[in-house]
Amino acid sequence: MPLPASLRDDGAIEHFALRFIDRTLPKAEWTHAGHFAAALWLARHRPELTAPDAIRALITGYNEATGTPNTDTGGYHHTITLASMRAAMAHLGNSPADEPLHRVLESLLASALGHPGWLNSYWKRETLFSVEARRAWVEPDITPLPFS
């Protein structure tokens, strides 16, 4: 899957992540690839923002700024966010330290994680989309994640 123009080089990924942080990123750009681009950039350049409470604050604030309500049925989802952050951080950790971030993103998206439904291998749908999983971390109920 080719990267969108907004994510094709490291400068573009940085610009994307900074617009996410300052809440100016258009909602239409907040895609599966965009989520992972932001996660990778944060993990490499702003790891303090990857802590569970910090990433929750970033995403809920971004959602509010783009008109997306954070409710029990939409908006921020804690389990999906933490699983995705762990996946991105593990993928980044398995890449050479000097690997350009857009190449890390390309390889991550070419992996099983690149499929938007990748979480369905680890959680039953009813568990993953429960109110409990949206509000707090819920352990996988099919098989453990292959990364911590």
Distance of alpha carbon 91 from its chain centroid, rounded?
12
CB neighbours of residue 131 within 10 Å: 10
Residues 6+ positions from 87 with CB-CB distance below 8 Å: 36, 108, 113, 118, 145, 147
Q: pTM for the full model? A: 0.95
- For residue 3, the 8-state DSSP code is P
Burial 62-101 (b: 16+ CB within 10 A, else e): bbeeeebeeeeeebbbbbbbbbbbbbbbbbbeebeeeeeb
Q: Tens digit of pLDDT per residue, the chain (148 long)? A: 678 888 999 999 999 999 999 999 999 999 999 999 999 999 999 999 999 999 999 999 999 999 999 999 999 999 999 999 999 999 999 999 999 999 999 999 999 999 999 999 999 999 999 999 999 999 999 999 998 7
